[in-house]
């Protein structure tokens, strides 16, 4: 889907009459990205022509195996790793599961303590919780500050003699904050514990060096960097042991059984190669679009706050809380105008609980409920940002027109401006104050 696409709008309560034409703007690249055309074409070759099983000895199999190894080298290159350290699997979720379960099982002689954070993806958090229930792990969940940053000193203090693994995500999927990975890696190295990072959102988005960053295990996923869904990898530093999750044939050097997903792996490899070549350009373009979107929204909409770190954040992540409105209502209104964004407020189970990430950052639940995540991609343009800046303030204004709390806050602000502070808005939210 290109961002230039214009779609016919439906009759909407936002004023879009039947036949009205809207821009179609996809701003949910943290959820998934479109597959690059050349990636899809490379994959098609390994479905339609060289479709052999990479374990077969004949020429079809050999060509599939060669393509798999070329892809492995490309993914390793983007990590700053060696090809034999890359284990292909079904995606980030499997890589997170395997890194935690697999290392605890392989190093059970050292203990069963894991240090992680309260803002990890559920692929890490639920794995930890499950291991606790099974009696196989004791887990320390570290807090974060208002910008969603973990303090490396907290990591150092949490490590015990029986700690096997520290798992801290590279960049948060909701608010985009990039963690002090280098410092955490150094601490883990000094204390002699394994360091795993879930780099699903950061891989392909920012430059990497597993050696410089002291990473032992790293989860990555293809569909976040313009590759296909259902394929990812776990980086396992040479010399580190890991117990497989899936048993069967001796694929992936006996670390992950199952017939190789050759088209998927080929697509992932090419997507990684393109990300490496285009990295500087992508970072520059996306950062400029991101900052224009953030400044434009905060400047146009009062009672709005940026969530996450103001500068140490993913180049494509914009997460804003709009007080006095529900994130879900904003999303529905945006969707009617052709804008696809996501809510930081509803959890995946569909419950109305605010996001665990925003709550861990100390954002009050009523403010967390009004959060919207917009994640840019390589196809987005300046015109897309202009369109969002044109549409979103009006959406918020319409939704706030129904909020008595908003009316009260506006009256309060007017009284303050006139030098006559009135009674405080008791149930009014606290300003998160990121920016
Ligand atoms: C930080 C993070 N970890 C893990 C995952 C899961 O990756 P996959 O969709 O490849 O299973 C995601 C996906 O959104 C993610 O954002």
Residues 6+ apart with CB under 8 A from 232: 88, 89, 90, 91, 92, 94, 95, 200, 219, 220, 221, 222, 268
Domain 37-276 listed as CATH 3.40.640.10: yes
Lowest mean pLDDT among 102-116, 133-147, 164-178, 244-258: 244-258
Residue 292 burial class via C-beta count within 10 angstroms: exposed 0-12, middle 13-18, buried 19 and up: middle
Q: Which CATH class is domain 6-34+279-417?
A: alpha beta
**Structure-model confidence comparison of residues 65 and 433, the more confident one:** 65
* pLDDT higher than threshold 50 for residue 399: yes
> Measuring CA to CA, how many Å separate 294 from each of 228, 308, 420?
29, 12, 32
Rounded Cα distance between 302 and 297, Å, is 9
* pLDDT higher than threshold 50 for residue 428: no
Whole-model pTM: value is: 0.92
**Structure-model confidence comparison of residues 366 and 10, the more confident one:** 366
Give the mean model confidence (pLDDT) for residues 396-400: 96
> Using a 6 Å cutoff on CB, does residue 198 contact ligand 1?
yes
| pLDDT > 70: percent of the chain | 89
> Using a 6 Å cutoff on CB, does residue 172 contact ligand 1?
no
Q: Residue 429: its pLDDT value, please?
A: 37
**Are 6-34+279-417 and 37-276 the same fold in CATH?**
no
pLDDT band for 8, please (50, 70, 90 cuts): very low
Q: Residue 147: its pLDDT value, please?
A: 98
Go through the chain and tell me how many residues it has.
435
Q: Residue 425: its pLDDT value, please?
A: 35
Which of 376, 392, 270, 273 is closest to 322 using CA atoms?
Answer: 392
pLDDT digits (tens, 9 = 90+) for 297-332: 999 999 999 999 999 999 999 999 999 999 999 999
Q: Residue 423: its pLDDT value, please?
A: 46
Q: Residue 343: its pLDDT value, please?
A: 87
Q: Whose CA is nearest to atom 15 of ligand 1?
A: 200
pLDDT digits (tens, 9 = 90+) for 158-215: 999 999 999 999 999 999 999 999 999 999 999 999 999 999 999 999 998 999 999 9
Give the mean model confidence (pLDDT) for residues 1-27: 55
Evaluated on CA atoms 110, 111, 112, 113, the torsion sign reads: negative
Q: Which backbone phi and psi does 44 adopt, to 5 degrees?
A: -60, -35
* pLDDT higher than threshold 50 for residue 15: no
pLDDT digits (tens, 9 = 90+) for 324-367: 999 999 999 999 999 999 986 544 445 568 899 999 999 999 99
Rounded Cα distance between 266 and 272, Å, is 10
pLDDT digits (tens, 9 = 90+) for 34-82: 999 999 999 999 999 999 999 999 999 999 999 999 999 999 999 999 9
Q: What atom of ligand 1 comes closest to residue 96's alpha carbon?
A: 4
| Active site residue ranges | 347
Give the mean model confidence (pLDDT) for residues 97-112: 98
> Using a 6 Å cutoff on CB, does residue 201 contact ligand 1?
yes
Rounded Cα distance between 296 and 177, Å, is 20
> Using a 6 Å cutoff on CB, does residue 168 contact ligand 1?
no
> Using a 6 Å cutoff on CB, does residue 92 contact ligand 1?
yes
Residue 186 corresponds to which tokens in the numbers above? Answer: 């150094």
Residues 6+ apart with CB under 8 A from 319: 174, 175, 176, 306, 307, 308, 344, 371, 372, 373, 374
Rounded Cα distance between 327 and 347, Å, is 12
Rounded Cα distance between 64 and 263, Å, is 9
pLDDT band for 134, please (50, 70, 90 cuts): very high
- Residue ranges of alpha helices (H) inside 301-353 are 327-336
pLDDT digits (tens, 9 = 90+) for 232-280: 999 999 999 999 999 999 899 999 999 999 999 999 999 999 999 999 9
Q: How many CB atoms lie within 10 A of CB 354?
A: 23
Q: Domain boundaries in the chain?
A: 6-34+279-417, 37-276
Q: Which of 123, 128, 219, 222 to mutate to test the pocket of ligand 1 (most atoms within 8 A of CB)?
A: 123
CB 384 within 8 A of CB 3: yes
pLDDT band for 9, please (50, 70, 90 cuts): very low
Rounded Cα distance between 178 and 402, Å, is 37
């Amino acid at each position: 889907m290109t961002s230039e696409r214009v779609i016919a709008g439906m009759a909407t309560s936002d004023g879009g009459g039947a036949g009205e034409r809207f821009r179609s703007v996809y701003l949910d690249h943290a959820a998934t990205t479109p597959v690059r055309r050349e990636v899809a074409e490379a994959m098609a070759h390994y479905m339609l022509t060289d479709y052999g099983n990479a374990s077969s000895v004949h020429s079809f199999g050999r060509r599939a195996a060669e393509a798999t190894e070329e892809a492995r080298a490309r993914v390793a290159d983007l990590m700053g790793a060696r090809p034999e350290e890359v284990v292909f699997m079904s995606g980030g979720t499997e890589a997170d599961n395997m890194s935690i379960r697999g290392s605890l099982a392989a190093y059970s002689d050292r203990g069963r303590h894991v240090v992680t954070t309260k803002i990890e993806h559920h692929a890490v958090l639920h794995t930890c919780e499950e291991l606790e229930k099974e009696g196989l792990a004791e887990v320390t969940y570290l807090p974060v500050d208002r910008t969603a940053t973990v303090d490396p000193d907290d990591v150092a203090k949490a490590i015990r003699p029986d700690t096997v693994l520290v798992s801290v995500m590279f960049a948060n999927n909701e608010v985009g904050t990039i963690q002090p990975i280098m410092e955490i890696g150094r601490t883990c190295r000094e204390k002699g514990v394994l360091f795993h990072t879930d780099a699903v959102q950061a891989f392909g988005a920012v430059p990497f060096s597993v050696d410089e960053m002291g990473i032992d295990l790293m989860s990555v996923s293809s569909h976040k960097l313009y590759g296909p869904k259902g394929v990812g990898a776990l980086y396992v530093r040479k010399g580190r042991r890991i117990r497989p999750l899936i048993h069967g044939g001796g694929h992936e050097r006996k670390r992950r059984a199952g017939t190789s997903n050759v088209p998927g792996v080929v697509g992932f490899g090419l997507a990684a190669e393109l990300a490496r070549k285009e990295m500087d350009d992508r970072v520059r373009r996306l950062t400029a679009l991101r900052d224009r979107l953030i400044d434009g929204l905060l400047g146009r909409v009062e009672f709005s706050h940026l969530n996450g770190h103001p500068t140490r954040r993913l180049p494509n992540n914009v997460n804003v809380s709009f007080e006095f409105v529900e994130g879900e209502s904003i999303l529905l209104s945006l969707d009617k105008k052709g804008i696809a964004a996501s809510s930081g407020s509803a959890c995946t189970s569909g419950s109305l609980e605010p996001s665990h990430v925003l709550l861990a950052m100390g954002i009050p639940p009523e403010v967390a409920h009004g959060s919207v995540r917009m994640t840019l991609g390589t196809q987005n343009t300046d015109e897309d940002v202009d369109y969002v800046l044109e549409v979103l303030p009006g959406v918020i204004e319409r939704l706030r027109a129904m909020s008595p709390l908003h009316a009260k806050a506006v009256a309060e602000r007017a009284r303050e401006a006139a030098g006559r502070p009135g009674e405080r808005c008791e149930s009014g939210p606290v300003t998160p104050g990121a920016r």
